[in-house]
Amino acid sequence: MTPDGSPPSQAEAEELGPLAGLRVLELGTLIAGPFAGRLLSDMGAEVIKVEAPQRGDPMREWGADKLDGHSLWWPVQSRNKKLITLDLRAERGQEICRELAARSDVLLENFRPGTLERWGLGPERLCAENPGLVYARVSGYGQTGPYSSRGGFASAGEAISGLRFLNGFPDQPPPRSGLSIGDSLSAMFAVVGILAALRERDTVSGRGQVVDASILESCFAMLESVAPEYHRLGLVRQPTGTTISNNAPSNVYRSADERWVVIAANSDNLFPRLCRAIGLAELAVDERFATHDDRGRNQAVLDEIIGAWAAEQTADEIQHALDAAGVVCAPVNSIADVFADPQVIAREMLVPVDDEELGEVLGPGVFPKLSRTPGRRHFSSGWTAGSANAEILGDLLGIDDGEVAELHHQGVI
């Protein structure tokens, strides 16, 4: 619903996105909670981001590489959000937060479990005051269980879930992926839960509920057949480096111009095409490679043959030859390569954020793409903590200017 209680118009939905009229109160810091808020904002929701006075979200300072002293994390995660300051440890700050929750569709938080309950802001109280509230919680290990009170970072959730164990090469320390995958996964699962809860509220019960998303479970959900393989076969899947174990050919190969290229022809229809494309059609009828299982057993031999061919071609030549043959192939792109990739450009995967301090900053586009209401076409991010205080506290909650000034003097905002 829009701020005045009416549903959004078709024009508003087409301009802002399918979640136009939805109000989200974002509590929390760093990646998981704010990333979930950003995804909702991308699709048109009004996201009110609460930051602590004086301190703000640490994301404002993250990153060793800065532009004019400013973090480049912030324009990505804060885009389109209305920034307010509020001391949730102060009694008046808690009262204001409850008033905002009473006027919101979703509350999104990623504090350590139990923190908001101690501040009088837990779901039992807030959902009683606003029965339609969807209260979404992102944490390291979930709201229950023996680990629930532990602090949870992406690295810990990836490790304990089994996801990190599978990364890297055998007999080497399991590396991180290069990104905080656990945070991003838990944010996306939280958004799935929020949308499911809103759907149920609006079509069935009229009531909200708690969405409990954890980094641990979000990572574990990605493990494909690893769990049943252990349950029924006693198999503990091991890291396989750049390959897919017993699934060949599927690997990265070095080109003549020293780029890595993925070549995947690990199916019965693709393998003969690859053999013809590399000028070795006879491999398709070689008994060593006759079936999927045969190719898996002789993976190392195949990799040596394909690697020798790839080493004599440039990455572009490999791509051209295998595209023509209908074989799956892709370069391993750096971000510099991504910026120049025609598919990235055609799909608007990079969109400008108009940042008040840094000017134009390119960031990820809105995904997935919807045909009628595709999400926000224009992005903006702000640095001034509390820049929306007057709008939210004054216009939405009706707090007069004198009290707003006093709240600022007291350090509540």
Q: Residue 362: in which H helix or E strand, if any?
A: strand 359-364
β-partners of residue 331 are 261
Cβ burial of 68 (10 Å; 0-12, 13-18, 19+) is: exposed
Catalytic positions are: 183
Identify the residue whose tokens are 């393998």: 271
Count the helices and strands in the chain (H runs, E runs). 18, 14
**Do 363 and 353 contact (CB within 8 A), yes or no?**
yes
* CA–CA separation, 282 and 404 (whole Å): 80
The rounded Cα 84 to chain-centroid distance in angstroms is 23
Half-sphere exposure of 221 (CA within 13 A, CB side): 12
Concatenated DSSP letters of 23-83: EEEE---TTHHHHHHHHHHHTT-EEEEEE-TTT--GGGT--SSEETTEESSHHHHSTTPEE
Using CA atoms, how far apart are residues 330 and 347, in angstroms rounded to an integer?
17
- HEC secondary structure over 137-149: EEECCCCCCCCCC
User: For residues 64 and 25, is the Cβ–Cβ distance under 8 A?
Assistant: no
Q: Are strands 210-214 and 66-67 parallel, antiparallel or unpaired?
A: unpaired
